[in-house]
Amino acid sequence: MQIDREIRTLLKGIIQKRKKAINNAEGPRDDLLGILLQSNIQENQDANIKNQGLTFKEVINECKIFYMAGQETTSAVLTWTLILLGKHQDWQTRAREEVMAIFGKSNPDFCGLKHLKIMNMILQEVLRLYPPVTELARVVHEDIKIEDIFLPRGILVNLPILLVQQDERLWGADAKEFNPERFNKGISKATGGNMSFFSFGWGPRICIGSNFAMTAAKMALALILQRFNFELSPHYTHAPIGIGTLQPQFGASIILHRRVGILVNAKVFLGLGG
């Protein structure tokens, strides 16, 4: 695959540059790439810890995973949030009022983000309706019976996140509608204790970046809400498609109206399609 080759070449260049900097006692060592490389350097230097550190290939793979798992997913959530808030102006207003009450015109900070309850409800609802990862797969390693379902060893089980999270039997008649209010009293109240909301996965392999992703999404959204009113362009066509992550197939045209001073209109194009 050409894209894979290109990504690897690109990453190799970045990694080798950093490795050189580390060898010359320059550049940070305590960020993610620095830590991964430290492990690779030890693997190469110390024969006693062979196979305990990361090989160069593994460092490249980790960088790839973190980019794909971290960047694509969070940007997809932000895209869907802008689409939904562009459509549901009442929730956009509520979110902005909350942001202005907490931060005013100051830059949002980490501490204040924790108090954004309405925004949290909105993001949960976006994650429920448009989970960036739409399904998970698990291989069954030994025969197992779950209630009256028998799963033989070796089969592949698909966990359809998107379908479960829009199932009327679990979420009620308005399951397919955008209603952040359902998360007003938290996730367990919204799910009624069912395992019906797992956009970040579940169990031992649950997403390790979920808090980081929520913080990044809240920060970006707070900055946007402070500065712009926005609406969906009349040209927007609703067509979610799963390619790696769940994306708006024809992109998301959003019309921004600057909030300070004279209103200045700007159009941004998010997601796929152009």
> For ligand HEM, which is the closer residue by CB, 212 or 269?
212
Tokens, residue 61: 């793979």
Least Å distance between CB 235 and ligand HEM? 26
> For ligand HEM, which is the closer residue by CB, 128 or 255?
128
Question: From residue 96, how far is each of 44, 102, 121, 127, 156 by CA, in Å?
Answer: 52, 10, 13, 19, 44
DSSP letter string over 82-115?
HHHHHH-HHHHHHHHHHHHHHHTTSPP-HHHHTT
> For ligand HEM, which is the closer residue by CB, 28 or 237?
28
DSSP letter string over 130-150?
S-SS--EEEE--S-EEETTEE
> For ligand HEM, which is the closer residue by CB, 131 or 255?
131
Least Å distance between CB 227 and ligand HEM? 23
β-strand partners of 257: 229, 265
Least Å distance between CB 162 and ligand HEM? 11
> For ligand HEM, which is the closer residue by CB, 163 or 264?
163
Please report, as a single letter, which amino acid is at residue 224: I
For ligand HEM, the binding residues (CB under 6 A) are 65-66, 69-70, 73-74, 77, 132-133, 136, 199-201, 205, 207-209, 212-213
Least Å distance between CB 71 and ligand HEM? 7
- Answer yes or no: is 207 a known binding residue: yes
Compute the CA torsion angle 123, 218, 242, 71 (nearest 10 deg): -160
Which residue of this chain has its Cβ atom nearest to ligand HEM in the complex? 209
Residue 129: exposed, middle, or buried by beta-carbon count in 10 A (0-12, 13-18, 19+)? Answer: buried
Least Å distance between CB 132 and ligand HEM? 4
Give residue for tokens 């995973």. 65
* Positions at the binding site: 207
* Positions at the binding site for heme: 207
